[in-house]
Amino acid sequence: MSDETLISQIQRFSINDGPGFRTNVFLKGCNLKCRWCHNPETQSFTKELYWKRRLCVQCGACFDACPNEAINSPVSPEESNAEGSTYYKIIKENCDNCMKCVDACNYGALEIVGKPMTIEEILDEVERDDLFYKNSGGGMTLSGGDPTAHTAFSDKLLIAAKKRGIHVCLDTSGFGQWESLELLANKSDIILYDLKHIDSAIHEELTGVPNELILQNLSRLVDNGSEIWLRILVIPGYSDSSEYHRKVVAFLSTLSRPLDRIDLLPYHNWCEDKYSWIGRKWDMGGAQALDPADIDYLVDFYEPVARQVTIGGSGFEAEN
């Protein structure tokens, strides 16, 4: 099997993305561009570069190695690391991702984001923690980006994972053709389904796409009999009011059965460094992170439409 795709990260020992200890496989490439995205390096379908300014000694080796004039001239580390500095090492419009700068860097300041991996390579990595899966009920969570943006590869990966006896969670926004989602859902044990915003116009403002297809696909998954853990991000100023959550509950009440689980996820801003590393400004960086205790009251809202409700995906739980 020679199929391969770009993987941005394989994260071991995750406890918030499905049951038990899990290994998260992050595919690179997504059809949404969420303003708050906590993994911005997974949005692009191509390789990218991290530049970690705190590790950069401004030695000039990358500048000398670059054949495309895509590296800014060295400055002092003090200037580069000064608060409010706009200096960024890579001139993106000139960069063709040849990665010669990475080879030249001796300090780990430049890093390739997006590693081509085959299905066998991915699953061999996942199976390193097979003992932990057996003892905890864990397994692999296929995430991204979004697996539905890589349907053919994701389908083959899920088939191969099931042949190896690996429990599989599929993490998706649900934005895609139903045929693709159904194909992957039928090979997954649990669907982690992200509800970004219930209002379609605001959803499009925040993610770049409307939400009608997402809501329709959620309804179809429920009818399909899939086990669904709906994940609702609570964002200050956008989805943190009682009125908003009443609207979500009103929609969920129209589904043909209660959801298996709802995870209410308080917004956090732990990913700001990632935006800096890929040379992007984070529009949501100034938003205040929410304490899980701030949204405890929402559990009561969702108990009528789910068999289980959690804050943060683990820890506090309330069951019907």
The CATH code that applies to domain 4-45+115-319 is 3.20.20.70
| pLDDT band of 180, cuts 50, 70, 90 | very high
Dump pLDDT digits (tens) for 59-84: 999 999 999 999 999 999 999 999 98
> For 164-227, where are the alpha helices, taking DSSP H only?
178-185, 200-207, 212-224
Per-residue confidence (pLDDT) for residue 268, from 0 to 100: 86
How far is 60 from 68, CA to CA, in rounded Å? 15
Q: What's phi and psi for 315, nearest 5 deg?
A: 80, -115
Lowest mean pLDDT among 110-119, 144-153, 238-247, 271-280: 271-280
The structure tokens listed for 33 are: 């561009």
Q: What's the pLDDT score for residue 2?
A: 53
Residue with tokens 């003090």: 78
Average pLDDT of the chain is 94
Listed in sequence order, the residues at least 6 apart from 23 whose beta carbon sits closer than 8 Å to its beta carbon are 10, 11, 12, 13, 14, 125, 126, 128, 129, 138, 139, 140, 141
Give the residue from 174, 167, 152 showing the smallest Cα distance to 220. 174
**pLDDT at residue 320 in the model:** 34
Going by pLDDT thresholds of 50, 70 and 90, the confidence category of residue 283 is confident
Give residue-wise pLDDT tens across range 130-146: 999 999 999 999 999 99
> According to the model, what pLDDT value does residue 263 have?
97
190 phi/psi in degrees, rounded to 5: -140, 140
- pLDDT tens profile 7-28: 999 999 999 999 999 999 999 9
Answer whether residue 199 shows pLDDT above 80: yes
Q: What single string gives the DSSP state of each residue in 111-169?
A: EEE-EEEEHHHHHHHHGGGHHHHHHHT-EEEEESS-GGGGHHHHHHHHHHHHHTT--EE
Give the residue among 289, 299, 315, 206 at the shortest CA–CA distance from 245: 299
Interval 38-58 mean pLDDT: 96
What is residue 22's three-state secondary structure? strand
DSSP element (H, E) containing 275:
helix 272-277
Residues 261 and 229: beta-carbon distance below 8 Å: yes
What's the confidence (pLDDT) of residue 174?
Answer: 97
Residue 301 has pLDDT above 90, yes or no: yes
Can you give the residue ranges of every domain in the chain?
4-45+115-319, 48-112
Question: Into which CATH architecture does domain 48-112 fall?
Answer: 2-Layer Sandwich (3.30)
4-45+115-319 and 48-112: same fold? no
Least-confidence region, from 37-51, 261-275, 293-307: 261-275
Query: Is beta strand 317-319 parallel, antiparallel or unpaired with respect to 308-311?
Result: antiparallel
Q: b vs e for 193-222, b when ≥16 Cβ sit within 10 Å of the residue's Cβ?
A: bbbbbbbeebbeebbebbbebbbebbeebb
Helix H or strand E encompassing 295: none
Per-residue pLDDT at 242 exceeds 80: yes
* pLDDT value of residue 314: 63
Percentage of the residues of the chain whose pLDDT score is greater than 90: 89
3-state secondary structure of 207: helix
